[in-house]
Amino acid sequence: MMTEERFRILIEAYGAAPERWPEAERLAAARFAATDPSAHAILEEALQLDGLMGALPTPDMPLGLIDKVLESAAVETLAAAAVPKPVPAPEGFWRNLRALWPLAPRWAPMSVLAGATALGMVVGLNLQSIMSPEAGLYAANEQVAFRFPDDQDLANLP
């Protein structure tokens, strides 16, 4: 719904020519202009300035400007394109990693990967004693052999 207040703001900002009015309000403003008695005076005021502003011609582009700009394009873009791109392997690695867990932030699959690695190391180190109890026993004996004697050990001496 176009009000007189909004219509005045529009005309004071954009002038009297409908093609310069905001597209979203153009139709409503045009209806208001055609039907509301207050619209004529508001438009008349803006038309004078529009007429003066319209006297400013479109500037002519200087001769040779296009060539100068294209010369700079050849120098800059060809040089930039000749620079070798960074190795894409790490990006591929992160993309593959991210593909495993697309909705989580990047640190989430990294954390899982780090956790799995740590767990693997713990399990790997203890695997020997799990699979071979004797080996665990030997390891325990080695620890006993290399520890310092405590009070109980000394009390048991003959």
Partner 1 sequence: MTDDDSAGLTFSPAIIDDPDAELVTRVAQGDQAACRELVQRHLKSTFSLARRMLGNDADAEDVAQETFLRAWRHAPRWEPGRARFETWLYRVTLNLCYDRLRRRREVTMEVMPEVTDPTPSVIEVHHRRDVATAVQGALAALPERQRAALVLCHYQGLTNIQAAEALTVSVEALESLLARGRRALKAALADSAGDLLGKL
Taking CB under 8 A as the rule, does residue 82 contact partner 1? yes
Comparing CB distances to partner 1, the nearer of 70 and 116 is 70
Instruction: Compute the half-sphere exposure of residue 14: CA atoms within 13 Å on the CB side of its CA.
Output: 15
Selected binder of partner 1 within 69, 89, 103, 157 (CB under 8 A): 69
Binding part of the chain for partner 1, among 20-28, 102-110, 117-125, 145-153 by CB under 8 A, reads 20-28
Binding mask 101-140 for partner 1 (x = CB under 8 A): ----------------------------------------
Taking CB under 8 A as the rule, does residue 51 contact partner 1? yes
Taking CB under 8 A as the rule, does residue 2 contact partner 1? no
Q: Which residues of 93-126 are buried (b: 16+ CB within 10 A; e: fewer)?
A: eeeeebeeeeeeeeeebeeeeeeeeeeeeeeeee
Give the number of other CB atoms < 10 A from CB of residue 16: 19
The first and second tokens of residue 53, run together, are 């502003």
